[in-house]
């Protein structure tokens, strides 16, 4: 039981890291105009991506 919970936690951490990595790549590829349309600036990107992922 503990092993399953530990394994699930590890998988969740890896998935969160991959999601943040994809988001960083997508945000880095956006133009200033696209970021402005989303309501975010380049300086806010790192701050937003460092926030902890919410648990369900």
Query: Are 17 and 9 within 8 A, CB to CB?
Result: no
| Rounded (5°) CA angle 55-5-1 | 145
Q: Would residue 8 count as lying in a domain?
A: yes
pLDDT for 20 equals 82
pLDDT for 53 equals 62
Q: Report how many helices (DSSP H) and strands (DSSP E) the chain contains, helices first.
A: 3, 0
CA distance 4 to 46: 32
pLDDT for 54 equals 60
pLDDT for 14 equals 93
For the chain, what is the domain count?
Answer: 1
Full residue range of the structural domain in which residue 35 is found: 2-49
- Report, as ranges of residue numbers, the positions in the chain whose pLDDT lies below 70: 53-56
Q: Would residue 26 count as lying in a domain?
A: yes
Q: Would residue 55 count as lying in a domain?
A: no
Q: Would residue 54 count as lying in a domain?
A: no
If DSSP codes are grouped into helix, strand and coil, which group holds residue 55?
Answer: coil
Count of C-beta atoms within a 10 Å radius of residue 49: 13
């Amino acid at each position: 039981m503990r092993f399953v919970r530990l394994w699930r936690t590890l998988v969740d951490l890896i998935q969160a890291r991959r999601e943040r990595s994809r988001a960083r790549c997508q945000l880095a590829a956006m133009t200033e105009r696209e970021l402005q349309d989303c309501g975010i600036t380049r300086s806010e990107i790192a701050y937003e991506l460092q926030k902890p992922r919410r648990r369900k």
